Chains A and B, each alone.
Chain A
Amino acid sequence: MSTQTTFVTPATRLQAYSSTADLAISPPSGRDASTRARSAVASKDLRSEPGPIRFIIIALAISFLTIFVVLPLLVVFASAFSKGITAYFAALAEPEALSAIRLTLLVAAISVGLNLVFGVIAAWAIAKFEFPGKTFLITLIDLPFSVSPVISGLVFVLLFGAQGYWGTWLQAHNVQILFAVPGIALATIFVTFPFVARSLIPLMQEQGTQEEEAAISLGASGLQTFFRVTLPNIKWGLLYGVLLCNARAMGEFGAVSVVSGHIRGETNTMPLLVEILYNEYQFVASFAIASLLAMLALITLVVKTVLEQRLDEGQTPRDELRDEP
């Protein structure tokens, strides 16, 4: 499945927003302003449903979102604090919790770092050049989005597990990949692979190559051009990709669960610890860790909204330029 729809990329969102903005602010072209004003008034009546139906639709939407999204979120915090604040912080200060937090941060740093570098490189190759098979390459980059998290873990077990292709060799040379940090990091890199590249490609395609070509023709080197010209243009899109990549890296459960081995205090990330504590009926401790992850999700959403606005603003002048004949 393509990312354009899996999560709304800045560019697609931009297109949606900027075109509505055009509708609202662009001067009436080829039409008398008063006609337009009249049709705007008329359209209010023509383009809306009767009051009761409107009420029912809004009520349905709000109740559905409340039951399925708001309540689960509230349950996390209510359960985490159900025995008081002291119990909450005591649960977070457990050595097991601290080691899970450390491991999650480490794995996220590794996988976000590598995907950041390779995502930018892939976006440069794909967005700035024409070559046959480009669509196919993008489909390959998107693959992890359509692979079940469990399968994303399974493929690494098949490679590195005791009965896997390279299992015997690894054992003979005493290299630990599965049930250790390298395996967890690999599975995480796999599931977060598309985020950075996919949030950059539409943006960089839209920006074209003229500014870079100008820089090169003025004697800048390739790296100088990238850091001084391209990077400032894509910084918000890049942050957007890193943000989503990081959220998924810290929260990944299925893939990591398959490769981690669940060694207590060693290979449990935060989501895995949530599972273990929950299955041991340590609800306060489980939801305390879960509440940290929920806060990460909420912060991610807020920053994402801010970044989308930034991207939107950055886009407007370009749209205006484009609209000129």
Chain B
Amino acid sequence: MSTAVARRSSLPGFGLTMGLTLTWLSVIILIPLAGLFLKTLDLSLVQFWEILTSRRTLNALKISFGLSFAAACVNLVMGTIIVWALVRYRFPGRRLFDAIVDIPFALPTAVAGVALTQLFAQKGWLGAPLAELGIKVAFTPIGIFIAMVFIGIPFVVRTVQPVLIDLDPEIEEAAASLGANRWHTVFRVIMPSLIPALLTGFALAFARAVGEYGSVIFIAGNLPNVSEIAPLLIVIRLSEFRYADATAIAVVMLLAAFVIIFAVNRLQRWAQTRAPAH
């Protein structure tokens, strides 16, 4: 179909719409982001480095990236299990659970934040039984981890789901009829073809968790060096009018986000070249 689209076009309005698009893009996105990078030029390299390697900044970055990675791993495993159940099996409430997967996307982050805190607080529905086991979730790093798992659920599910649905059943049948047992078929035949989608979902969940603010700060406890995430440290530095500090942390996080976008784009290109022609 794309070949038909490529032949064009006597349609009017290209200059006008492209001009408006570039103007609007510049005003809203490009100029503000450029301002952020420009602001870091106020800092000397030494100052920049000192801000980033100060104990509090390093710990905040460690907490944000470390816990996001752990949460994305959980999302990878549980996301795969959820996709498998939703696509391959029929059970009561399947459609409802399929719809429920999108709730972390749709629920405003502040609402998710207060809800998770209430749920895991010492007297909460899940917090109370966990407290009896001696596990404290709310206002600890575990709480941050829980919120990041919540926010990342849809990413793995929604990237892998269409790929698993599209998977040619004949490959599996062939593997099975050639004598592969089910275990082999799943892990040697099906999983490899899901890998690009799984990695994409993982990267997206990781990126989202690193930048996440609303659903994390309520349950986090926000103790400097212990349970203070990098986005919160940016907000704190801003409220102290330490713009340079806030900007330096923001630039590092933004660069990390760009690296992840780049990786995801490469993954998708890889997936496209691997995909069998339909």
Contacts of B1 in A (CB 8 A): 206, 208, 322
- Which B residues lie at the A interface, using CB under 8 A? 1-2, 4-6, 8-14, 17-18, 20-21, 24-25, 28-33, 35-36, 39, 78, 81-82, 84-86, 88-89, 91, 93, 97, 99-119, 124-126, 146, 149-150, 153, 155, 158-159, 161-162, 165-166, 169, 172-173, 176-177, 182, 186, 200-201, 203-204, 207, 210-214, 218, 231-232, 234-235, 238, 241, 243, 246-247, 250, 253-254, 257-258, 260-261, 264-265, 268, 278
Contacts of A96 in B (CB 8 A): none
Q: Given A5-B264, A47-B173, A141-B25 in contact, is the A61-B108 Cβ separation under 8 Å?
A: no
**Cα A39 to Cα B210 with chains together (Å):** 47
Q: Given A61-B97, A62-B97 in contact, is the A148-B257 Cβ separation under 8 Å?
A: yes
**Between-chain CB contacts (< 8 Å), 22 pairs:** A5-B200, A8-B162, A17-B165, A47-B169, A58-B85, A61-B81, A61-B85, A126-B21, A129-B9, A129-B14, A148-B231, A151-B253, A154-B247, A161-B243, A186-B28, A213-B9, A213-B10, A251-B111, A257-B235, A274-B110, A297-B106, A301-B106
Closest chain-A Cβ to B119's Cβ sits at a distance in Å of: 5
A146 and B234 contacting across the interface, CB-CB below 8 Å: no
Closest B residue to A45 by beta carbon equals B176
Please, what's the 1-or-0 string for A1-17, where 1 marks a CB less than 8 Å from any CB in chain B?
11011111000110111
Closest chain-A Cβ to B54's Cβ sits at a distance in Å of: 19
Closest B residue to A19 by beta carbon equals B166
**Cα A71 to Cα B130 with chains together (Å):** 15
Contacts of A35 in B (CB 8 A): none
B172 and A76 contacting across the interface, CB-CB below 8 Å: no
**Cα A248 to Cα B116 with chains together (Å):** 19
B110 and A146 contacting across the interface, CB-CB below 8 Å: no
Majority DSSP secondary structure for residues of B touching A: helix
Please, what's the 1-or-0 string for A148-164, where 1 marks a CB less than 8 Å from any CB in chain B?
11110011111101011
- Which A residues lie at the B interface, using CB under 8 A? 1-2, 4-8, 12-13, 15-17, 19-20, 39, 42-43, 46-50, 54, 57-58, 60-62, 64-65, 67-73, 75-76, 79, 118, 121-122, 124-126, 128-131, 137, 139-144, 146-151, 154-159, 161, 163-165, 186, 189-190, 193, 205-206, 208-210, 212-213, 216-217, 221-222, 225, 247, 250-254, 257-258, 271-272, 274-275, 278, 283, 286-287, 290, 293-294, 296-298, 300-301, 304-305, 322
